[in-house]
Amino acid sequence: MEIPESINKLITETKADQFIDTLTTTQGSMDDVIALIKQKSNLQDYKQFEEGLAFFKKDTLSDANFIKNLFYLYSETIQKSISLSSIEDESKDSISRAYSTIINSTMQNIEAISTLSKFLNNGNNIIDVQKISYIILGYVIDTIKRINNTKY
């Protein structure tokens, strides 16, 4: 049996116990996450974070390019770190070239297997880029948390 419209307008739905807390969710944006990181990080850590945000990302829709972009970022960071390290100057160049060679060959291997798997998967990525991004984000946040917990 259906309640007539005139009576239905008089009915107010409430919860039985007003003191029971209800869980409300809000949709946060990535800009909110960035603002929170800026607030909670020291200046040096936030500077590094900004460097990652500003790093050029080529074709972020392809899973292979996403991973290759991470390797480019790693390569650039390791090159800077080697130049600032206490490694003897005469060894820095050869160490730097060795890293570049290994990283470049790894990226070529990723590109080759990605092209094959994408072909076999009817032109679709094997891994969704957003999915892997969140997996890596979780990994990174947990790593930073662990490093900071051991400092104190």
- 134 or 59, which is more confident: 134
Residue 93 is assigned to a structural domain of this protein: yes
Residue 128 is assigned to a structural domain of this protein: yes
pLDDT bucket at 149, cuts 50 / 70 / 90: confident
Count how many domains the chain has. 1
Q: Tell me the backbone φ, ψ of residue 8, rounded to 5 degrees.
A: -60, -35
Residue 17 is assigned to a structural domain of this protein: no
Residue 76 is assigned to a structural domain of this protein: yes
Burial of 65 (0-12, 13-18, 19+ CB in 10 A): buried
Residue 68 is assigned to a structural domain of this protein: yes
Vertex 133, ends 144 and 82: CA angle to 5°? 55
Residue 27 is assigned to a structural domain of this protein: no
The per-residue pLDDT for range 3-62, each reduced to its tens digit, is 667 666 666 666 665 666 666 666 678 889 889 988 988 999 999 999 999 998 888 888
pTM: 0.72
Domain hosting 40: range is 32-151
